[in-house]
Structure 1
């Protein structure tokens, strides 16, 4: 990738002071940090990254790498605007402290003094104060019923706060630390009420404008064309463009800013509140904000807004942020006179911003001290023979861990941990765009794996029992395309996937009510309650007043495709038949397509494209036949005999596919779903007769088995590493995969039913119909 180093000095001093002497420390640090950021972009497919180093005199250095737009035509730069997420909370809290200095607010006065209509149900007694809200000790739920993180059409922050009256506190005010975006929305409304302005105007007046943050604000509109392109990501899903959702709680997470602008804020912090034209805050106010407000231990200790920690014996204050495609880290070392800012553009990629910010701080500190800087940790993906050797199923009592190959690399699927496994100089870690977990160990002979200090022994996954009726009825997807909530079974227990990255075990507390764990997760002390219709079918999940409707995303996409196809099927087919397959050099092997049922007559066919039970909704083939290159067909026959010993048979959905059909599929599919169809300009594995779509059927009943998703489903349930469904469904998926891969096939990453024969590239693209093949297939 082209190297993009942007050197920036923020003008915060008289012109005579700008002629700074060369700084060899920053020069060397810049090279090292740039190398680290570019490695992250390459290894984890991050659209762009920006990092800045700040001192008392301003931004000393800033680098930006990658693309700022979806097409890759605009390089990221110092002018690129990023969404800061929860770093916004620091600005809200600074505004509060400004009003405290002016005598307009008191941190320990009941909040209802300023917001009389704020009346959430409080079964514990006691009053909520600003100090409790700013330190996440209010006892409020994480998200409000309206204007929450999932809400695509919020009214305004006042309505967000008003909706909290429909909720009940989950803990007594001041008793526990429980992170709450809703609580900071309340703080923002106090600022608005006391100043008599909208919160946005108040924030500009009190904080942004005095700091000269002219490229910062709470909405995207003023920065059209400057906001960095960003992506949503999931372990078992595609990368998609992040939705431009504006929050109904701007005080908690809506700041748009640049590295230079955020650097001005960090500079003011390093100068104990002093700014060129006065003071952002008094030094005593910042000291109070950086004081640990409550003594209880934890991974995050809060001052007033700021997270307070130590790094190598030095005090560090700051905050991280994550919001729809953007992640941020702001760290300040007040006593060392140093700050760092890091932005990334993949959702919840805080593992990267944290890693880069820590590395940048330690690197500059080491170089200033004249010592060797730390090495940036660069783990290598586990592939090839090593990945095959280390893949397997491991158990410890009633809990299990799976390591499997996905898209050619080794990944882990543990109870509350998923991600890529990487090899380092000292062992293995889990690290990808959204996860960094170092407490991982694997035996050289793959006889065991340790996750978080717990050892799991290698074994053969036994057939799991079916889940109980209640849990089985809850399993599925809820919510919206921009934010899915998934209920699934793991090791016989209920689990939830929420906010794209968190996999958490739930505890059943009553019928259709499941609590989040108290000691971890995004939603401790909260629970999901499920709604049912009069027929007993589950229709929604409720989280603190937020209603997640039950969804079948695959069926919704399929319905849209079918509507388009049926409106113009003749034209779609005519265009495909008139098109020409891509030209390519001669292949290593000639085509020798052979009927699968000729290889083994007991293999069953259910050729979906010969009927209407397919995603297009119309017959594509004129007859129900299935062909493969002869070696692949013969290998498939051996797979069939192997699974018969386990009580199953093979059911074939599709195999060789004429090229014109691939073109029809491509033209009919929405761009967002084209990972499930092949690009006709390149031809497909099916066109070469070396790919098969299939499932298992039960020899006793004759019925197809039920696995994690339907055949040809346009949803993440189709992915071969989908973390969802039931234990039994995933077990069946793995039974099929292990049996067919033992005979030289490889699963297609995004489709659990699709397997490619090992040498598929050696065969030519075919365009003959089944009827044209029929004569030679009967030999």
Structure 2
């Protein structure tokens, strides 16, 4: 290795390096194009880091890393950075099985209970489960084990996870359908442990990792402390947060930690038909069997033994993807072309990016090596400004609906099972962000219709939806844990579930409190959600294959913590805030002209939460219940109110101008994880400038405030202006309010459905006078 020359070094966001037998201009050009594509993804989709490697039979031919590997954004990602490979781990488990098959210790087609007699899930269909079926996801098992599953933060060990599978019932006859199962691969891992007489991790090292020289790989985080890439959880309607360092209770299915170099060694062995420097990882015939399509096509993916088998431009491709708590991976090998690629990203479920980069890398290297033109990398542009406004709307086909709206300045789509950023491409539109890539989107030039997956929806005015039936209404809400939420909501009158951060799926009611997932798509086909109720009939939990998701009110839980801290130190918070000085800034474009909202329109009602205890702090912050805005904003708000009164609603104001010292109190009292809901006092807030208002609507007939997706000042994703949850009627009310107030020059604050900013709020100065001082009275 010391005699090999550095063919070239590309310096980008982070250094990228290549080792090759000799200079290769085609590979140099491909590397530059791949690097440009990866950098675009990092910038455009705010990915902490991305790493890509190109592999040939001689090893890693080129690798690059971009972005930062640490949470502080100071350490560049590099070849030494460790990533979590997720379900790519399954290939190593399956290779270990084939190694034991070669040694005569395992057979693929005998009942797995031959090796694991304690494995006895309920099987109403008959027939025995084999290793071949487990490795090809044809066992009929549920996706996750009741214990040690993807959601479990306190697993015992893999043996306990597998034992818990006995509490489940098969959803299909063994061998009959393809149904992806992490639990099934956990069983495979325990078979390996039982046959070798070693703990699974030790067996995997002995059989696969150590012979390959994968010294920067393993199944637990501890050996790689300080080297694991910072990664983030994300959701269409939620904040980015650091991914939790959860260790799985089924390491055989998804616990591999590795680097581009180490995973490249594995790909190199595959390209060499199992040959490695120390002998053989596997016999060529074993790999041929692993790459053979084992069963007739059933579903989107076709499996060999572990490997997904596919076709790219007429050439065979084998590999696997992975996703686990903030990390996404793609490994592809094109055996006949002698090429492989590894791609890592660090946003949860960002497989659309790893898949896109890996495909592009293979196609680019192949094209340039054959002297043909390299493909272009798709770089759709976010839809913003006047075009975004023109394309916003509600569309229906009479049964289902699609909404397009502006969120954080760009157009997004909310369709039945599709959410994400809308991007313009040279040929039209697509949906693409860190977690979604969908190109079957078309929008009419005059925005009169939209097509999603070939289904056309016509522009219309959203009618007031009916309330959901009593059973569904009781189920709607959040379940689970902060690290993984399950949400039940209503869409177009139907029950939907949001699960594992990215999947929005329609459910079918099969009996009271029993709802089935679709059988033809999604993460949990053929499985059922059931709901638990207490003696009073209140829903307390959702159950998925033995996994219990407790009912939660995340906003109330955060609020309780904040209130406890505030009440213990209120005097100190207030004193510190009053003693502090607002940030200095250049003279404002416009002078402050704060005006009482009720003077602009006496029919507007006030419910100033910070003058009482019904707020997230739990204490009175203001000395009186008043509301002021810059005069043009107050007058505009009067026009909004008059327009809404024609529809039977009036405006109810919770807060408007806010003295700067109060903003500092809010900031100091709020948990760091919830500060997207409060303003940074070092910058001053829109409220401090008198150009922001917090409000809702009330019914004129009853005086009752509207009930929408979340409570005012709630510290949860229910507060987001694009929250996909709640009932149809709640979201309709939210949009009625938004459309009315935006028609008069206000814009919704993305993370708070109740918060609206007027015009160019930056034109006004930061204010720190109390309401009493504004009226010529002294502060008490």
Q: Fold-level match, TM-score > 0.5?
A: yes
Q: Secondary structure at the match of 1:159?
A: helix
Instruction: Tell me by how many angstroms 1:5 deviates.
Output: 3.3
- The aligned residue for residue 433 of structure 2 is 432
Query: Who is 1:155 aligned against?
Result: 156
Structure-2 residue corresponding to 1:720: 721
Deviation string for 1:81-115 (max 9, x for gaps)?
00000000000000000000000000001000000
Equivalent-residue separation in structure 1 for 2:167 and 2:300 (angstroms): 31
1:471-512 CA-to-partner distances (Å, cap 9, x unmatched) read 000000000000000000000000000000000000000000
- Tell me, in whole angstroms, the C-alpha distance in 1 between the residues paired with 2:604 and 2:22: 78
1:370 deviates by: 0.3
The answer to whether 1:307 aligns with 2:308 is yes
Structure 1 residue runs of 4+, over 3 Å off? none
> What SS does the aligned partner of 1:717 have?
helix
Q: Tell me if the contact between 2:331 and 2:343 (Cα under 8 Å) persists in the aligned partners.
A: yes
Cα distance in 1 for residues equivalent to 2:504 and 2:135? 27
CA contact (8 A) 2:178 2:298 kept: no
Corresponding position of 1:593 = 594
Deviation at 1:6, TM superposition (A): 2.0
Post-superposition CA distance 1:663-703 (Å, at most 9, x none):
00000000000000000000000000000000000001101
Aligned mates of 1:21, 1:86 — CA distance in 2: 34
Which of 16, 33, 40 is residue 6 of structure 1 equivalent to?
Answer: 16
Q: Distance in 2 between matches of 1:7 and 1:582?
A: 45
Question: Any idea what the Cα deviations from partners look like across 1:352-377, whole Å, max 9, x if unmatched?
Answer: 00000000000000001000100000
**What corresponds to 2:702 in structure 1?**
701
Check the 8 A contact 2:721/2:748 in 1, yes or no.
yes
- Which TM-score applies when normalising by structure 2? 0.98
CA distance in 2, matches of 1:369, 1:363: 10
Q: Say which SS state the counterpart of residue 336 (structure 2) adopts.
A: coil
Contact 1:158/1:189 (<8 A) preserved: yes
Counting only pairs closer than 5 Å after superposition, residues 570-649 of structure 1 correspond to structure 2 as 570-649=571-650
CA distance in 1, matches of 2:621, 2:299: 60
User: Hey, what's the Cα distance between the residues in 2 that align with 1:298 and 1:201?
Assistant: 34
2:278 and 2:531 map into 1 onto residues whose CA distance is 55
Q: How does 1:215-254 map to 2 (within 5 A)?
A: 215-254=216-255
Unmatched runs of 5 consecutive residues or more in structure 1: 10-17
Q: Secondary structure at the match of 2:467?
A: coil
Match of 2:333 in 1: 332
The within-5 A match list for 1:417-456 is 417-456=418-457
In 2, are the aligned partners of 1:651 and 1:696 still within 8 Å (CA)? yes
Distance 1:728 1:5 in 2: 52
Q: Is the 8 A contact 2:478 2:488 kept in 1?
A: yes
* 3-state SS, counterpart of residue 335 of structure 1: helix
Structure 2 distance, partners of 1:173, 1:573, is: 66
Instruction: Confirm or deny that 1:463 pairs with 2:473.
Output: no
State the 1:759 CA deviation.
Answer: 1.8
Q: Residues 69 and 229 of structure 1 are in contact (CA less than 8 Å); yes or no, is this contact kept in structure 2?
A: yes
Q: Give the aligned partner of residue 119 of structure 2.
A: 118
Give the secondary-structure state (helix, strand or coil) at the position aligned to 1:302: coil
Aligned equivalents of 2:762, 2:297: Cα separation in 1: 61
Q: What corresponds to 1:13 in structure 2?
A: none
- Aligned partner of 2:278 in structure 1 is 277
Instruction: Spell out, residue by residue over 1:539-585, the C-alpha distance to the aligned partner (whole angstroms, 9 max, x if none).
Output: 00000000000000000000000000000100000000000000001
Please give the per-residue CA displacement for 1:320-362, whole angstroms capped at 9, x wherever unaligned: 0000000000000000000000000000000000000000000
User: Aligned partners of 2:183 and 2:335: how far apart in 1?
Assistant: 29
Matched, 1:74 2:84: no
Q: TM-score, normalised by structure 1?
A: 0.98
Specify the SS of the correspondent of 1:200: helix
C-alpha deviation, 1:8, in angstroms: 4.2
2:657 and 2:689 in contact (8 A); partners too: yes
Aligned pairs (5 A) from 1:269-418:
269-418=270-419
CA contact (8 A) 1:8 1:78 kept: no
- Residue 774 of structure 1: how far off its partner (Å): 1.6
Separation (CA, whole Å) in 1 of partners of 2:772 and 2:422: 47
Distance in 2, matches of 1:21 and 1:290, equals 31
Aligned positions of 1:117-266 closer than 5 A: 117-266=118-267
Instruction: Identify the residue that residue 14 of structure 1 maps to in structure 2.
Output: none
Matches within 5 A, 1:725-764: 725-764=726-765
Q: Where does residue 12 of structure 1 map in the other structure?
A: none
Per the alignment, residue 3 of structure 2 pairs with none
SS at match of 1:484: strand
TM-superposed deviation, 1:4: 2.0
| Map 1:457-606 → 2, pairs under 5 A | 457-606=458-607
How far apart, CA to CA, are the structure 2 residues paired with 1:279 and 1:86?
24
**Is residue 37 of structure 1 aligned with residue 47 of structure 2?**
no
Q: Residue 620 of structure 1 contacts residue 661 of structure 1 at CA under 8 Å; is this kept in 2?
A: yes
Tell me the CA shift for residue 26 of structure 1: 1.1
1:296 Cα deviation (Å)?
A: 2.6
SS in 2 for 1:203: helix
* Distance in 2, Cα, partners of 1:135 & 1:25: 37
- What is the SS of the residue equivalent to 2:17? coil
1:578-609 CA-partner distances (Å, limit 9, x unpaired): 00000001001000000000000010000000
Is the Cα contact below 8 Å between 1:233 and 1:346 reproduced in 2? yes
- Confirm or deny: 8 A CA contact 1:332 1:338 kept in the other structure: yes
Q: Distance in 1 between matches of 2:628 and 2:297?
A: 67
Distance in structure 2 (CA, Å) of the matches to 1:156 and 1:485: 24
SS for the counterpart of 1:418 is strand
- Give the conservation status (yes or no) of the 8 Å contact 2:330–2:342: yes
Q: In 2, are the aligned partners of 1:5 and 1:34 still within 8 Å (CA)?
A: no
Q: Helix, strand or coil: the match of 1:568?
A: helix
CA distance in 1, matches of 2:300, 2:713: 44
Q: Structure 1: how far apart are the matches of 2:638 and 2:435?
A: 41
Alpha-carbon distance in 1 for matches of 2:283, 2:105:
15
The match for 2:4 is none
Give the Cα separation in 2 of the matches to 1:372 and 1:518.
42
> How big is each residue's C-alpha offset from its partner over 1:744-776, in whole Å with a ceiling of 9 and x where there is no partner?
000000000000001211000000000011249
Task: Please state whether the residue corresponding to 1:6 is helix, strand or coil.
Answer: strand
Residue 686 (structure 2) aligns with:
685
Q: What per-residue deviation string (whole Å, max 9, x for no partner) do you get for residues 411-455 of structure 1?
A: 000000000000000000000000000000000110000000000
| Structure 2 residues not aligned, in runs of 5+ | 1-10
Distance 1:215 1:180, change over 3 A: same
The SS at the match of 1:700 is: coil
What do residues 161-208 of structure 1 show as CA deviations (whole Å, max 9, x unaligned)?
000000000000000000000000000000000000000000000000
- In the TM superposition, residue 73 of structure 1 has moved relative to its aligned partner by 1.1
CA–CA distance in 2 between the matches of 1:428 and 1:573?
A: 51
| In 2, Cα distance between equivalents of 1:458 and 1:66 | 41
Q: 2:296 & 2:618 partners in 1: Cα distance? A: 63
Q: What displacement does 1:21 show?
A: 1.4
